[in-house]
Structure 1
Amino acid sequence: QTANAGLWLNKFLDKKGDKDTTAKPTLVKEVVDKASNQELQSLYGKFFVRWKQALKDYGVKEEHTRKAKVCGRMVVGLGSESVLETSVMLHHTYGVPYIPGSALKGLARHFAGEKRVDGWEAEHTKVVFGNDKKSDDTTAGYITFFDALYVPPQNGTERFLHADVMTVHHGDYYMKENIPPTDWDDPTPIPFLSATGIYLLALAGPEDWINPTFKLLELALKEEGIGAKTSSGYGRMKFI
Structure 2
Amino acid sequence: MGQLFLPKETTELLNGLGSEMDNAYLGWYRYASYDTQNQKKKKIKPFSYYSKRERIFSKADVDLLKTQNQRMSRIAQTMPFLQLYTICQTSRWAIGIGGTSPYGNLQIITLHPLYGLPYLPASALKGLIRRCWIDQYYESSESRANKDPAFVHLFGFVEDRINGDKSKKGALIFFDSYPKAGSEGKLVKDIITPHYPRYYDEFGKKPPTDDQSPIPIEFLCLENFTFTIRIGAHLSLPADTEDKLRDVIKRAFSEYGIGGKTASGYGRGLIISHDK
State the TM-score, normalizing by the size of structure 2. Answer: 0.71
Aligned partner letter, 2:178: L
Q: Cα–Cα, structure 1 residues 224 and 26, in superposed 2: closer, same or farther, change >3 Å?
A: farther
Indicate which of 198, 201, 206 corresponds to 2:226: 198
**Number of the residue aligned with 1:186:** 213
Percent of aligned positions that are identical:
26
Residue in 2 aligned with 1:129?
A: 155
Which is higher, the Rg of structure 1 or of structure 2? Answer: 2
Higher-helix-fraction structure: 1
From 223, 228, 232, the equivalent of 2:255 is: 223
Deviates more, 1:183-192 or 1:127-136: 127-136
Kept after mapping to 1: 8 A contact 2:178/2:228? yes
Q: Which moved more, 1:23-32 or 1:203-212?
A: 23-32
Residues 186 and 14 (structure 1), Cα distance of their counterparts in 2 relative to 1, 3 Å cut:
farther
Distance 1:125 1:162, change over 3 A: same
In 1, the alpha carbon distance for the partners of 2:226 and 2:159 equals 35
CA distance in 2, matches of 1:21, 1:116: 55
Aligned to 1:80: 99
Letter paired with 2:191: V
Does 2:147 align with 1:147? no
C-alpha spacing 1:22/1:234, structure 2 compared with 1 (3 Å): farther
The answer to whether structure 1 residue 3 and structure 2 residue 29 are counterparts is no
Residues in 1 aligned to 2:119 and 2:265: alpha-carbon distance in whole angstroms: 19
- 1:48 is displaced (CA, Å) by 2.4
CA distance in 1, matches of 2:256, 2:248: 11
Contact 2:72 2:175 in 1 (8 A): no
Tell me if 1:165 matches 2:203: no
Q: In the alignment, which residue of structure 1 is the partner of 2:126? A: 105
The yes-or-no answer on 1:65 pairing with 2:90 is no
Give the C-alpha shift of residue 80 in structure 1: 3.2
Deviates more, 1:124-133 or 1:144-153: 124-133
Q: Which consecutive residues of structure 2, in runs of 5 or more, have no partner in the other structure? A: 1-19
Structure 1 residue 106: deviation in Å?
0.8
**Letter in structure 1 aligned against 2:95:** V
The answer for unaligned runs of 5 or more in structure 1 is none
Alpha-carbon distance between aligned partners in 2 of 1:114 and 1:165, rounded to the nearest angstrom? 31
